[in-house]
Structure formats: structure tokens, C-alpha cells
Amino acid sequence: MELNNIDKELLKTIADLHEIPEGAYNIRKDGKLVSRNVSANIDIVSKTDKPGINIFIKDGTINESLHIPVIVSEAGLKDLVYNDFYVGKNCDVTIVAGCGIACGSSEDEGHDGVHSFFIEEGSKVHYIEKHYANGDGTGSRILNPVTKIELGKNSYMKMDTVQIGGVTSSKRDTNAELDDGAKLEINEKIMTDGNEYAETNFNVDLNGKDCSTHVVSRAVAKNESNQIFKSIINGNNKCFGHTECDAIIMDNAHIVAKPELTAASTEASLIHEAAIGKIAGEQIVKLQTLGLTETEAENEIIKGFLR
């Protein structure tokens, strides 16, 4: 299967790919494999019982990357894939995922990706996931990513999730369990417009001694769009947990933020913060004095907020 110009533009947007990458990758379009490459330290094997792949990263793999983008452009396709990542000990790798939808008809298109991470002791993983949709069709563009994380002793995972436009409906579920000394950092950036709907559910179990998590969401809701942010942190040992939601609300949008903390240990230290508000008028006025229109000023403020 070859990629057309629309596919290539989507790959640039969701995975920063201007050409076929070096190293390990798995590119998927409309439920089918487009291209795959493995490296000496990263192996990719197709599942035999359901759609998806198993990724095996050898102990001690350092400074390597893996790209696994998905493109959906087939009218009426509801794609579903299960990807499992087995990261060995003392690794330091970057994994770039994400899905781009090009809708050109009145039929709905969607992708549900279920990603499970098993990260062993001492390893570091930077996971980048971008979602984007475009096209002149009237069908809905639906994305429902599920992420499951098991962090071994003294391991670290940084998860950057971005929904950058055009997605009609999304529901993001992330569940994580942390062992002794493990650290999880989650940064979410999301913007909705029109009648779009976005729901985020984070659930982190701090089971190990001296483990920690930081969950931060920055969101912008425009027009008639709706967003729900739920973050649950369970402190089950001597641990530290922090969850934060900052949101800008505009027009007739609707935002719900529900941070929740549960401590099952006297040595658990848990903090939550949530703030929702409109763009300050003085910020707009200041930029207008520099020659920007009100709309241009709003766009610059939003761009800086989501940076």
C-alpha cells in the first residue's frame, strides 16, 4: 500500500515524519500495514489473535526511537488495534504514536488504539501521542485511545498527549501502576471547537515506596464544545502525587474538571489543582496595542498557553 499526499501530510502532523524514519517503525493505514522496519534492539511482531503488534525492546537499549503512526481515510472504517510494549531493563527510548483521520464522506471514521506498556527496572520511556483530523466530509472523526502502564522499580515514563484539532469525539483512558521509586509524568494538551466533545480519564495507583506522579492538563474549549477532565490518584504507600488542570473557556463552551485524591497511607503526599477561566481582557488589549486584531490576539494567547 502506497501513501498519497494527504497521508504524507497527516504523518507530518501527527508524527513529525517528512520521510520514512530511520530505525524501528510500523506505519498503518486503514487497518493494514503500510511499512515496517525493525532494528537490532527493537523487534516488532504482528499479533496472531487480534489486530495489533508486540514490541520488544532489549535490555540496555539507549537513544533509540520507535514510530508507530496510524492513518484512517476509508469511509465508515472503525479501526481497532492492540499494541503491547515490552521495555527491558535500563533502556532510554522514545516512542512516537498518534493517529490522523482524513474524512471525505458523510460516514463516520474512527480509531481505537489500546496501548499497554510493561517497563522494567531502571528504564526511561518518552511516549508522544498526537491526534488530529481533517477533511471536507461531514462524517464524525472519532478517537478513543486507551493506555495501560506498568512501571517497574526506579523506572520513568514521560507521556505527552496532544489533540490538535478536528476530532469530533474522543475519550482518553489512562491507567497506571507504579512500583518502588518509579516516576510517571503526564502532560496533556487539548483544544476543542464547534460541537466537539473530549473526555479524559487518568487513574494512577502509587503502589511502590517513594514512587511519584505529576499529571498536568492544559485545555482550551471554544464555541459549543464540551470537555470533561477526570484525574484520580491513589496513594497506597510512601509516595507523592500531583494533578493539575488549567483550562480556558470561550464562547458557549462547557468544561468539567474532577480531580480526585485517595490516600491509603499516612506517608502519602497528594496535591490537586484546578482552574477554569476566560482569557484576561488586559492580555488581549496589550497585544492589540502591538497591532494585532482581537482574534489574532486570542490565537496568540492560546498558542502560548498550549505550548
Contacts of 157 (CB under 8 A, 6+ apart): 117, 119, 124, 125, 126, 127, 149, 151, 183, 184, 185
DSSP state of 278: P
Place of cell 484512517: 72
Strand 24-29 with 62-67, pairing: parallel
Rounded to whole angstroms, the Cα distance separating 126 from 87 reads 12
The whole-number pLDDT of residue 1 equals 60
Question: pLDDT digit string (tens) for 47-81?
Answer: 999 999 999 999 999 999 999 999 999 999 999 99
The whole-number pLDDT of residue 269 equals 98
Judged against a pLDDT cut of 70, whether residue 132 lies above it is answered with: yes
Could you count the other beta carbons within 10 Å of the beta carbon of residue 195? 11
Query: Which amino acid is located at 105 in the chain?
Result: S
Q: What average pLDDT does range 175-203 have in this prediction? A: 97
| Full 3-state SS string of 82-96 | EEEEEECCCCEEEEE
Judged against a pLDDT cut of 90, whether residue 10 lies above it is answered with: no
Look up the pTM and report it: 0.94
The whole-number pLDDT of residue 285 equals 85
